[in-house]
Amino acid sequence: MTAPQTYELSSQQALEAESIHIFREVAAEFERPVLLFSGGKDSVVMLHLASKAFWPAPIPFPVMHIDTGHNFPEVLDFRDRTVERMGLRLVVGSVEESIAKGRVKERPDGIRNPLQTVTLLESITEGGYDAVFGGARRDEEKARAKERVFSFRDEFGQWDPKNQRPELWSLYNGRHHKGEHIRVFPLSNWTELDIWSYLAAENVELPSIYFAHEREVFQRDGMWLPISEFTTPREGEEVVKLMVRYRTVGDVPITGAVESTAATFEEIITEVAATRITERGATRADDRLSEAAMEDRKRQGYF
């Protein structure tokens, strides 16, 4: 006996279908797409959706990682294993190299996250990419809440929030001239909870640091930072051993761990459903710089 057919998709199926539609649209209309893959959970979901969109054919574009040199080793390891397993071509844009070439200067505070924009734009130009998939979601940050699924970037990679193309129905306008490109956000309508529910339902592998583990950490600016080659406690910063996990994965020096015992997808979903602080607010120093930190970075061509 089968249940009566209601011809209604679940919320998760509807989001998946919308994202797959976007991937296929880009593959059909652009010459050189590339997918930004950091090993973070959102980019893992993007890659999973891309592989579904073109099955049984392989993903018809390469993936790109903008490597700050300040990554969690677990995440780099995961990146390399994933690329190998899926038979992808990986392009790495290195912030380290941009610094060495003198394209960008190391900041006094040593934070490399804002420097990524230069490397990202150079890598896009060098590769001749005309569509760049990013994993940004509208629920995560208010400048992002206003960005289109197909987001036009001029020859300098700039985003002009006041001059965006209206986006109607499921008709996406990818028109651009040579040298300009389109950022494409297939996860625009997904929430953090949608991401976790989907990862659990599809049983997708993630870097281990997303799950609770014991780690030596110390507190700085209200964030739990790990002992690592990039972060060492200053005088007066006490090192403690805690059960923690990461809600987002960015650069080691600016990504805080959250205290948690959630070691499985189910436990994480319960935790995310109950949390009262946004994932960026909880864990990202880069977004605390100013109220418009994200908008300013996005205008210059950031992710």
Partner 1 sequence: MELLRFATAGSVDDGKSTLIGRLLYDTKSIFEDQLEAVERTSRDRGDEHVNLALVTDGLRAEREQGITIDVAYRYFATPKRSFIIADTPGHIQYTRNMVTGASTASLALVLVDARNGIVEQSRRHAFITSLLRVPHLVVCINKMDLVDYDESVFNRIKDEFRAFAAKLDVGDLSFIPISALHGDNVVHRSQNMPWYDGTSLLHHLENVHIASDRNLQDVRFPVQYVIRPQSTAHHDYRGYAGTVAGGVLKPGDEVIVLPSGLKSTIAAIDTADGEIDEAYAPMAVTVRLTDDIDVSRGDMICRPHNQPRVSQDIEAMVCWLSEEPLRDRGMYAIKHTTRSARCQVRGLDYRIDVNTLHRDETADSLSLNEIGRVTLRATLPLFADEYRRNRTTGSFLLIDESTGATVGAGMIL
| Pairing outcome for strands 213-220 and 239-245 | antiparallel
- 6 counts as binding partner 1 under rule CB under 8 A: yes
H/E element, 84: helix 73-86
- 302 counts as binding partner 1 under rule CB under 8 A: no
Query: Looking at 21, 32, 213, 220, which residue binds partner 1 (CB under 8 A)?
Result: 21
Query: Looking at 155, 175, 205, 216, which residue binds partner 1 (CB under 8 A)?
Result: 175
Query: Looking at 79, 138, 183, 297, which residue binds partner 1 (CB under 8 A)?
Result: 138
- 146 counts as binding partner 1 under rule CB under 8 A: yes
H/E element, 99: helix 95-100
Residues 262, 235 contacting (CB under 8 angstroms): no
Closest CB to partner 1 among 72 and 150? 150
Closest CB to partner 1 among 26 and 75? 26
188 half-sphere exposure, CB direction, 13 A CA radius: 23
- 204 counts as binding partner 1 under rule CB under 8 A: no
- 234 counts as binding partner 1 under rule CB under 8 A: no
What's the CA dihedral at 267, 212, 287, 144 to 10 degrees?
A: -40
**How far apart (Å, rounded) are the C-alpha atoms in residues 219 and 154?**
41
**How far apart (Å, rounded) are the C-alpha atoms in residues 123 and 1?**
55
Sequence-distant (6+) residues with CB within 8 A of 219 are 225, 237, 238
- 7 counts as binding partner 1 under rule CB under 8 A: yes
- 179 counts as binding partner 1 under rule CB under 8 A: no
CB of 5 to partner 1, least distance (A): 7
Query: Looking at 76, 193, 200, 269, which residue binds partner 1 (CB under 8 A)?
Result: 193
**How far apart (Å, rounded) are the C-alpha atoms in residues 182 and 69?**
26
Q: Is the peptide bond before 114 cis (omega within 30 degrees of 0)?
A: no
Query: Looking at 94, 189, 219, 228, which residue binds partner 1 (CB under 8 A)?
Result: 189
Residues that bind partner 1 (CB under 8 A): 5-18, 20-21, 24-25, 27-28, 51-58, 138-139, 141-146, 152, 161-162, 164-171, 173, 175-177, 188-189, 191, 193-194, 275-278, 281-282, 291-292, 295
